[in-house]
Amino acid sequence: MKVVFHERFKEVYTSDPAAAPGRMEAILSALEGVYEFVEPAPASDEDVLLVHTPSHLNYVKSLQRIYPIAILAVGGAIKAAELALASEPSFALIRPPGHHASPGSCWGFCYFNNIAIAVERVLRRKEIRRVVIVDFDLHFGDGTAEAFKGRGDVEYRHLPARDYVADLERFLEARDYDLIAVSAGFDRALEDWGGLMRREDYVEVGRVLKEMSLAKCGGRRFAVLEGGYNHEVLGGYVRAFLEGFA
């Protein structure tokens, strides 16, 4: 199990909750010394254009404080996907998040759709044929759903507010896939915006993802950070998920 991280993700690039000071540090304090860390390189503009329009790329480039971190976040998701293809489970500890970024627009603290770009990149390279994307953030990943709308090689699943473990098991058991990609949002936590998930729930979601990946796609799985905003508990919930996922 590897954690993909770069020191630049600690930078406060804007005033939204995803960019708040101390957010990355809260997660790092729970994971350092437990998992091996690897650094990503920034993605290329060509990578971004696999999913986004040229006008959207140019818009994010105009955000001079945000673009360098956003393009590095895409690189983090790509690195995590590459590790997963080698059957090395991975977690991209990155920001900005991405699942609200559609091909031509963005909102909700997102700029580029990190997970969508990483998935599209491995598909275009013919390294795999079919991917499922599981999203357990509090909010529906409208950008990810839009990016793959009408596609037969990618299926997006946002877990419901209740019975999410049973829903996840049914979904994964009924599909064929070569890779599981996960939008891992921690704003469902009891002490966060959603007030829904306990520590043991995150462990169980991670366990189901791990076991189904081992059973159906050679263990190929990776996750990327999306939401999660209560710094006092965020690191513990991320570590709980990784206990199951790893």
**Residue closest to 109 by CA, chosen among 235, 227, 237:** 227
Show the beta-strand stretches assigned E in 185-236: 221-225
**Residue closest to 131 by CA, chosen among 87, 181, 168, 170:** 181
**Residue closest to 124 by CA, chosen among 36, 26, 46, 24:** 46
CB atoms within 10 A of CB 8: 17
CA distances from 85 to 39, 181, 228 (A): 17, 11, 27
Quick one: residue 99, left, alpha or beta (phi over 0 = left, psi -120 to 50 = alpha)? alpha
Interior angle at CA 199, CA 206 and CA 221, nearest 5: 15
Helix, strand and coil percent figures for the chain, each rounded to 5: 45, 15, 40
Q: Residues 100, 139, 158, 231: which is the catalytic one?
A: 100
Q: Is 100 a catalytic residue?
A: yes
CA distances from 103 to 90, 133, 151 (A): 25, 17, 14
Q: Please compute, for residue 66, the number of CA atoms within 13 A of its CA located in the half-sphere on the CB side.
A: 19
Q: What positions carry a catalytic annotation?
A: 100
